[in-house]
């Protein structure tokens, strides 16, 4: 109840505070790429209940859609959209998802419905017992380490092979020790990572939760150790 109350209050306040920034984002999208301002992504929510996750559109509209996973140098991303992605401004519409109860401010990042159906193992499904979040330790991990392992020629295949398991292991490491204080820490670390990447930093240590996640994924024997 405390977490839900925090989500309602914080998402409502942030929607008001970030509204000028979102208006700028909307205008920029309209001026730089033909198509709608918003993008709705089919995601799996708590209890395996699908929902539509809102984002600002950062890719050119294409009939074929393309891969569900975005490569580091994905040609579908238009320049202003790339700025929105790097700064995470494209995620701000998810505050509405938080307000309506589909998401939380902090929680495991929601995955596409098809990837959950096709690729999740039993232990990965444990992440669906809580509300997904706008940010999380797994989201920070994907943001800081994803470009090092995702292949531009096969983004979805490389994501499933190299990123999915360690990211979800980190999410479970977070869930097992989550409380309102750790959530504040995740929010602070998210902001710090965004600023660091905008300023040019490219190599980051593993999230704190990686130590708790060893039972699900062997980070000590992985390419991520020492990143």
Q: Is residue 212 part of a domain?
A: yes
Q: In Å, how far are 5, 96, 168 from 9, measured between CA atoms?
A: 6, 12, 28
Q: Check residue 204 and give its pLDDT.
A: 93
Q: Check residue 65 and give its pLDDT.
A: 64
Dist CA 125 CA 107 (whole Å): 14
Q: Is residue 226 part of a domain?
A: no
pLDDT tops 70 at residue 227:
no
Length in residues, the chain:
227
Q: Check residue 91 and give its pLDDT.
A: 97
**Two tokens, residue 109:** 């990042």
pLDDT tops 70 at residue 180:
yes
Q: Check residue 96 and give its pLDDT.
A: 97
Q: Check residue 133 and give its pLDDT.
A: 98
Q: Is residue 227 part of a domain?
A: no
**Two tokens, residue 9:** 């209050």
| pLDDT tens for each residue of 152-163 | 889 999 999 999
Q: Check residue 224 and give its pLDDT.
A: 84
The parent domain of residue 88 ranges over: 2-221
Q: Is residue 125 part of a domain?
A: yes
pTM above 0.85, yes or no: yes
| pLDDT tens for each residue of 21-69 | 999 999 999 999 999 999 999 999 999 999 999 999 999 997 666 678 8
Q: Is residue 106 part of a domain?
A: yes
Q: Is residue 51 part of a domain?
A: yes
Q: Is residue 17 part of a domain?
A: yes
Q: Is residue 62 part of a domain?
A: yes
Q: What angle do CA 53, 170, 176 make, to 5 degrees?
A: 95
DSSP 39: E
Instruction: Quote the number of domains for the chain.
Output: 1
Neighbours of 31 (CB within 10 A): 8
| pLDDT tens for each residue of 59-101 | 999 766 667 888 778 889 999 999 999 999 999 999 999 999 9
Q: Check residue 67 and give its pLDDT.
A: 77
Please report, in angstroms and rounded to a whole number, the separation of the first and last CA atoms in the chain. Answer: 37
């Amino acid at each position: 109840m405390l977490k839900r109350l925090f989500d309602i209050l914080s998402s409502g306040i942030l929607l008001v505070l970030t509204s000028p920034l979102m208006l700028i984002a909307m205008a920029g999208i309209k001026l730089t790429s033909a198509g709608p301002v918003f993008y709705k992504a089919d995601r799996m929510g708590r209890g395996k209940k699908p929902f539509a996750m809102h984002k600002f559109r950062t890719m050119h509209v294409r009939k074929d859609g393309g891969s569900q996973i975005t490569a580091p140098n994905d040609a579908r991303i238009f320049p202003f959209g790339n700025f929105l992605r790097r700064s995470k401004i494209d995620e701000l519409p998810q505050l509405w998802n938080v307000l309506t109860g589909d998401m939380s401010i902090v929680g495991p990042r929601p995955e596409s419905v098809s990837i959950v159906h096709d690729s999740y193992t039993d232990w990965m499904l444990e992440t669906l017992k809580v509300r997904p979040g706008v940010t999380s330790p797994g989201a920070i991990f994907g943001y800081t380490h994803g470009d090092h392992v995702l292949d531009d020629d096969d983004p979805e295949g490389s994501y499933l092979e190299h990123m999915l398991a360690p990211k979800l292991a980190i999410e479970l490491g977070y869930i097992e020790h989550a409380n309102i204080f750790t959530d504040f820490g995740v929010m602070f670390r998210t902001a710090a990572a965004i600023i660091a990447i905008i300023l040019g930093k490219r190599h980051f240590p593993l999230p704190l939760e990686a130590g708790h996640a060893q039972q699900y994924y062997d980070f000590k024997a992985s390419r991520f150790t020492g990143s």
